[in-house]
């Protein structure tokens, strides 16, 4: 009889710890909102910070008509922002096919999966998966960008980038 009471006590204690731990892990609701700038970008295996070699990449997470939306732009002019995800090369936006897009302010997660189709049949299709999670302190947005290249149904390579966005000063 005593061992079942001990088991119930241990199980109840574990459930309380899990509930408290889960609550402590989640950032406060609304913490995802604001402007972010890419501070660090490295290949999966590490190496130098690639973000220093290109114009600043920005994300703006806002609420409009009760919908959380994300815009992205490169450089200093926020007027050039486009709905996220977007790919701009040489000043021209690439045609993309968005397969999935999730913006969850309650959990602090952003996720998108999209394809860039080649302009001709012989070109490469680029398959991109971006996943970001808000840090516990709500001061950085950390994630990965997985890029897979294919021609037809034949894989042609892939790589993973690690990214860290930080809040822009207000």
CB-based contact 110:70 (threshold 8 Å): yes
Q: Where are the domains of the chain?
A: 2-167
pLDDT per position as a tens digit, 23-69: 446 667 678 999 999 999 999 877 788 887 777 899 999 988 778 89
* Total-model pTM: 0.79
pLDDT per position as a tens digit, 83-131: 999 998 777 888 899 999 999 988 999 999 999 998 887 789 999 999 9
The two structure tokens encoding residue 136:
């516990």
d(C-alpha 88, C-alpha 80), whole Å = 11
Burial of 34 (0-12, 13-18, 19+ CB in 10 A): middle
CATH of region 2-167, choose from 2.40.128, 2.50.20, 2.30.30, 2.30.130: 2.40.128
Between 48 and 6, where is the model more confident?
48
Which of 147, 170, 151 is CA-nearest to residue 160? 147
């Amino acid at each position: 009889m005593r061992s079942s009471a001990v088991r119930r006590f241990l199980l109840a204690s574990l459930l309380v710890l899990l509930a408290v731990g889960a609550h402590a892990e989640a950032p406060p609701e609304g913490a995802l909102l604001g402007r972010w700038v890419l501070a660090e970008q490295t290949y999966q295996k590490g190496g130098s910070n690639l973000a220093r070699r290109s114009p600043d990449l920005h994300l703006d997470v806002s609420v409009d008509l009760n919908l959380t939306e994300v815009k992205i732009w490169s450089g200093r002019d926020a007027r050039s922002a486009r709905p996220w995800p977007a790919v701009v090369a040489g000043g021209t936006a690439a045609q993309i096919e968005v397969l999935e897009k999730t913006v969850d302010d309650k959990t602090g997660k952003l996720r998108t999966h999209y394809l860039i189709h080649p302009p001709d049949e012989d070109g490469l299709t680029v398959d991109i998966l971006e996943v970001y999670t808000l840090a516990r302190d709500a001061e950085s947005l950390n994630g990965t960008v997985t890029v897979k290249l294919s021609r037809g149904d034949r894989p042609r390579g892939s790589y993973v980038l690690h990214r860290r966005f930080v809040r822009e000063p207000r």
